[in-house]
Amino acid sequence: MTRLFAGTAFDIPPTCDQCGKLESDCICTAAEKAEAERARQQAADRRSPESQTAVVTVQKRKGGRQATVIEGLTAKANDLPELLGKLQAACGAGGTVKAKEDLIELQGDHAATIRKSLTNLGYRVK
């Protein structure tokens, strides 16, 4: 026995988290490993809707237009584009996600509909 931990539980050779093979036999590319790590981190950052509070406001824009703005939901903890799609379908309106500012905007005054939709999805609403 030439290795320090030969024959013990610490002598287990390292395996790839992606494919499960020994690291010396692993065929995964660096890009695949990075993508898998990113997906794992994203899943770890996600929070349940019950633990988040959305703040729904209606803002006046130039030209007398109105926009319903949802704040308080972070892009790191939610899939904001997917949530926007659900809210657009419920309201029948256009909208956008501003991930840097962590907000969702919908065209028009749809505060009541959005509050109801977010409550049905499990979010707390102010």
What is the full DSSP assignment across 40-87?
HHHHHH---GGG-EEEEEEEE-GGG-EEEEEES--TTTS-HHHHHHHH
Q: Compute the distance between CA of residue 22 and CA of residue 19 in angstroms, rounded to an integer.
A: 9
Print burial letters for 4-24: b (CB count within 10 Å at least 16), e (below 16).
eeeeeeeeeeeebeeeeeeee
The pTM of this model reads 0.69
Question: Per residue in 92-120, pLDDT tens?
Answer: 999 999 988 889 999 999 999 999 999 99
Question: Per residue in 54-72, pLDDT tens?
Answer: 999 999 999 999 999 999 9
